[in-house]
A and B are shown apart, each in its own frame.
Chain A
Amino acid sequence: MSANEHLPLADTGLLRFTTCGSVDDGKSTLIGRLLYDSKAILADTLNAIEKTSQRRGMEAVDLSLLTDGLQAEREQGITIDVAYRYFSTGRRKYIIADAPGHEQYTRNMVTAASTADLAIILIDARKGILTQTRRHSAITKLMNVPHAVLAINKMDLVDYDQAVFDRISAEYREFAKQIGLEDVQIIPMSALNGDMIVERGDRLDWYTGPTLMEFLEAAPLAHSEVPEAFRFPVQFVCTADGNDYRGFMGRVESGAISIGDAVKILPNGLSSTVKSIDLGGRELQRAVAGQSVSIQLADQIDISRGDMLTSADEQPRIEKQIEADVCWLSETPLDTSRKYIVRHTARETRAMVAGIAYRLDINTLEKHEGAKLSMNDIGRVSFKLQLPLAIDSYAVNRATGAFVVIDETTNNTVGAGMVL
């Protein structure tokens, strides 16, 4: 047997997804099932959870134990933070950002969704669409997660009844349309028995769509679906002793760039063309979204960390006042009389709150005026900035439309913003 027979095939990249739902929906079991059926669990881990399952008097192995993390959580029996899990199918590597579903943990789901290419919203077939389903869906929309799956779990507890699935599907599609969440794939499943996760099973024959795994394997990756403009925030300027190398180091956040392309440098607005692109000493003709490279320009221009190279044709807005949907992350509420730091791409600026238009009730989507923002609240906030930022709308570009709010005193990250 040759070594390569065991290795992943020519791979189709890295997909990040988030799972939203509560322990009651069988979320931990679903993740355990994905890991188990894709053979990502090793023998010693399995032995440990088998022992624990037996100790707790269970007959089958409790797959939810695989995603149990920290001591405090084991004691409380709930998930208190975002946990990251990994598995690979041979075609793709997956990163799961597992966010807890309880209401008080909106900030955790916002955090998990911020990096996700896909969201799995889990519901219990017996209970149908609940307040938390609406909340998870609204956050998926708010965070502009490109793809979503509604996983109708525990079909085993409703006798795999198609009528139940059809009823929930119809109701959900109506709701999803209202909030503008498009193209949601709805999949019936039983995580407990493994139906429609990796294997189809033989109890859901009436369902002809993809299994969850088939859907994950085929989901388009970030940046691959719609045209995007080139954005390159400069993280670091590289100069080397003894030669005239002056490379602007950063990651292509969107679009692509080739040698000879015209670029604008923001915020100063100067123009130049790309002289060279390299990645770890290897010369590239072209760099694409996701790649961390070093770019030299044809002209001597003073550029430093926090500046942005952009497409000459399609430029972001330069703003000193921004309006955004903000999710508050800190136990200390937003204080409109204080100054904060806004970190956007590789740039930081001081900021003050110009106003809070409303607070959004994420469960009902009602807007409450004259509000303050406390932990887990989401609201429409405008900031005045000390330095200008080169921004795109978050709906168009998740990298150049996002920012975090930092408390200058504690240095904590206290808010997450999505620019309108």
Chain B
Amino acid sequence: MTTLLNKDTLTHLDALEAEAIHILREVAGQCSNPVLLFSGGKDSAVLLKLAEKAFRPGRFPFPLMHIDTGHNYPEVITFRDARAAELGERLIVRSVEDSMARGTVVLKTPDESRNKYQSITLLEAIAEFEFNCCIGGARRDEEKARAKERVMSFRDEFGGWDPKNQRPELWSLYNARTHKGENIRAFPISNWTELDVWQYIERESIALPSIYFAHTRPLVRRAGSLVPITDVTPARDGEKIEDVVVRFRTVGDITCTAPVESTASTIAEILAETATTTLTERGATRLDDQQSEAAMEQRKKEGYF
């Protein structure tokens, strides 16, 4: 019998890392055809590092997949492709624009955000490849509706999430069983906070797209948010375009991701800001969640990640 020594106590990052590796291996052990969703964002960059820790020297027991809205920052796409090539793992890209061409995504107006339509393209890709588990980088601290999300979250044939009908999850005995057509969304970093993610990125020297660090960008100030001016998000009449030093805290579709003013150009500086920040990660930077307090819950019920 062994008594652990004081020095054997895991730090919080060690404990979170061990839990995430355990979850990834459960996915590999239980699911016949999983996929890891890789957007090029910081949370999915962390997932890739954890997958390396879980499965190397072997290959990943799943491909990587990105659902591309066609409105991504080019720095993120460059990073995505470089990282997949470096790992030597297969990257699948499926595009919302293909769904639009097929007619399965119909925008209400040409400049409507495509972000929510990723759900449709994701479900089409799940059907195409018959994936029965999608591994994602969502965290419970991101948003109220996620606080009750399971680590292995069951979705029915329509990709729907029913908050009242989720499988109980006890100990670390995850249940990823599915029937044909159903699937599991697995969230290995459920229990991480934004600060944990940045601390881990620093500890493991994880590379990120350049837009996470301070840079100068043309933008306008609109309704309390900083809105970057790009081809798909032009300035409106009467708005004043400014060059501002900013960084992104989350990345996603250009039309719904806003940066914050910051001069943090290293991970250490970002960590310092994160530890003292006064706004939640999504509060200032996700233009889509602010619509209503229940906005995220509604999107999740419709199959959003």
Contacts and interface: CB of A to CB of B under 8 A. Distances in A.
Interface of A: 1-8, 11-14, 42-45, 48, 68-72, 80-86, 88, 92-93, 95, 107, 110-111, 114-115, 221, 223-224, 226-230, 235-236, 238-241, 243, 245, 247, 249-251, 255-256, 279-281, 288-292, 305, 311, 313-314, 329, 343-346, 398-399, 402-404, 406, 411-413, 416
Contacts of A111: 168-170
A44 B140 contact: no
B246 to A, nearest CB: 18
Q: Which among B2, B55, B191 has the greatest number of chain A C-beta atoms within 10 A?
A: B2
A406 B177 contact: yes
Contact of B167 (A13, A114, A413): A413
A83 B283 contact: no
Contacts of B54: 249, 280, 292
B32 interface: no
Nearest to B269: A3
B144 A84 contact: no
B278 interface: yes
B208 to A, nearest CB: 17
Given A228-B1, A404-B170, A14 B29 contact: no
A397 B168 CA distance: 21
B303 to A, nearest CB: 17
A3 B272 contact: yes
Contact of A48 (B26, B170, B293): B293
Contact of B57 (A81, A240, A256, A416): A240
Interface in B1-58: 1-4, 6, 8-12, 14-19, 21-22, 25-26, 28-29, 52-58
Given A92-B12, A236-B61, A292-B54, 10 more contacts: A44-B279, A45-B283, A86-B191, A93-B16, A114-B171, A228-B2, A236-B55, A255-B2, A290-B14, A292-B22
A12 B170 contact: no
Contact of B191 (A2, A72, A95, A228): A95
Given A227-B2, A398-B171, A44 B16 contact: no
B135 to A, nearest CB: 14
Interface bracket on B: 35 or more
A227 B148 contact: no
B58 A238 contact: yes
B56 A280 contact: yes
Q: Which among B22, B171, B196, B269 has the greatest number of chain A C-beta atoms within 10 A?
A: B171
B171 A402 contact: yes
| Complex A-B, nearest 5 residue pairs according to Cβ-Cβ distance, in ascending order | A280-B53, A44-B283, A227-B1, A292-B21, A3-B272
B168 A235 contact: no
A12 B276 contact: no
Given A236-B28, A249-B25, A292-B54, A86 B141 contact: yes
A404 B26 CA distance: 15
Contacts of B268: 3-4
B21 A227 contact: no
A292 B141 contact: no
Contacts of B275: 6-7
B294 interface: yes
Given A70-B148, A72-B164, A235-B26, A13 B11 contact: yes
B193 to A, nearest CB: 5
Nearest to B283: A44
A3 to B, nearest CB: 4
B216 interface: no
A50 to B, nearest CB: 14
